[in-house]
Amino acid sequence: MNDVVTAEQVERHFARSAHTRALVNRWVERHGDDGVVDAVRDHRSRVVNTATLEEVKEVCAATDHALGEVKRKDVKDVRSINDWTCPFAVSHVFHFITEAIGTIPTYQEFQKQCESPRFRHMLWTPALQAIAACIEDGTPERIARHAMKWRIGNFYYSFLREQWVHAYLRSHGVMTRQHPLADALFAVDGWAGDKVISLYIGNQDYRTTNGGRKRTPRHHLRGGRPPFTFIDMELPPADSFGVVYIPRRHEVDDWIHRYFPEAVAS
């Protein structure tokens, strides 16, 4: 199987209904002038589809703590940043940087690359602008900066956790695939054939297997012919702070037995 995934392959694989094709068209129209469409369609994912479990474990051990000393209780009410987005989704930037440096980045390497001329306009500059606007609206500077660190740091941990799970699945014969177009447009964390994977920490307000306000692949990819199978890998909230939260191996083993019996049998 080819380890490189292109945006063209993603569109061909997922745009199986009028609803999904309309999503793609609206995305193209919405980002017609900001460079997002060209950057995503030019992107070729390889590292995220080949990284070994040992490589990802090394990143988990070497990364700086992405949240620093920030506590959720101090930033949870900073709505302008908690709901903040910019044209380049944070997941886009993780994927772009990963392929540019040829490995899953530690948080300190991710920060370094974000500030570089190649990527600065995608996330670093818009984040500084959002912080400045938040301060101008009356939020103390320290709180505004901490709120942005909390938001992006949690995105990083989510990305790193996904890479650990994908590497673990591959090590057990489940050949999953990823691409930023599938992630940002269809909320697809990965897929193996027609099996669409969602990996997340359960949150009653945001997302659980049975609900939450976040739209899921089931919504974005509804009506596909042939249909997709949707796999929810829901984790309980983390019980510690300051370390990378990854699933327990027995949890992923259970998912493999439940959702990928063909890998178990082989």
Q: What is the pLDDT of residues 76-127, one digit of tens each?
A: 999 999 999 999 999 999 999 999 999 999 999 999 999 999 999 999 999 9
Chain Cα centroid distance, residue 260 = 22
Cα angle for residues 249, 253, 254 (degrees, 5° grid): 120
pLDDT at 208 over 70: no
pLDDT at 239 over 80: no
Distance CA(84)–CA(152), nearest Å, equals: 10
Residues ≥6 apart with Cβ < 8 Å to 121: none
For residue 214, the model assigns a pLDDT of 67
Q: Mean of the pLDDT values across residues 120-139?
A: 97
* Residue 192, domain extent: 5-265
pLDDT at 44 over 70: yes
Measured CA to CA in angstroms, residue 19 lies from 24, 40, 58, 189, 225 at distances of: 9, 21, 41, 20, 12
If one compares 264 and 51, the residue with the highest pLDDT of the two is 51
Number of domains the chain is built from: 1
Distance CA(139)–CA(106), nearest Å, equals: 30
